Structure 1
Amino acid sequence: MTNDIKTRIREIIAEQAMLEPEQVTDSATPEDLGIDSLGLVESIFAIEEEFDISIPFNANEPEKSDFDITSMGSIISAVERLVSEKAA
């Protein structure tokens, strides 16, 4: 399931950034991929819808949220955690 989550998140982010999914690396930041704040919000909405989860509204403030959006790897890890908590 984890690879499926990772693959789908990369596809969602790549679509927003108008890139190929393989260009979305774990170390890339939204800025590296050319995603502005509006694009990031749209990506988050798409991820929430895809996985039927709720991402904290303050995810853009790392000190106030445990959902880290600083890199694609951290976004993937946070989504995997939320999906696993939902399944439990």
Structure 2
Amino acid sequence: MDVKTRVIEILAEQAVLDPSDVREDMTLEELGIDSMGLVESIFAIEETFDISVPFNANEPGESEFDISSVAKIIEGVKHLREQQAS
């Protein structure tokens, strides 16, 4: 399973949506994911991909990990996996 599909599944599960209802241009707010849901999503992403997301739940705007849209989260996960592989 590819990164994009799995990240969308994780976010869809958190938002209680069908993965087909999640678009890459959507924000977490549009998905209805609150700050607690975001933290749970980050944990699920870390566990699924065996990566460590540089995310500060107390200061999400200061994070190196861009959570502004589904596409940015997918991009961030791919980048972390590439870094880990090298």
Normalising by structure 1, report the TM-score.
0.89
Aligned counterpart, 2:12: 14
Aligned counterpart, 1:43: 41
1:1-88 equivalence runs, <5 A: 4-58=2-56, 60-61=60-61, 64-88=62-86
Secondary structure of 1:19's match?
coil
Unaligned runs of 5+ in 1: none
Query: Higher helix proportion, which one?
Result: 2
RMSD: 1.4
Task: Tell me by how many angstroms 1:58 deviates.
Answer: 2.3
- Over the matched positions of the two proteins, sequence identity in percent amounts to 58
Could you list the structure 1 runs, at least 4 aligned residues long, displaced by more than 2 angstroms after superposition: none
Pair 1:48–1:12, CA change in 2 (3 A):
same
Alpha-carbon distance in 1 for matches of 2:76, 2:8: 14
Letter in 2 for 1:25: R
Alpha-carbon distance in 2 for matches of 1:40, 1:24: 15
Unaligned runs of 5+ in 2: none
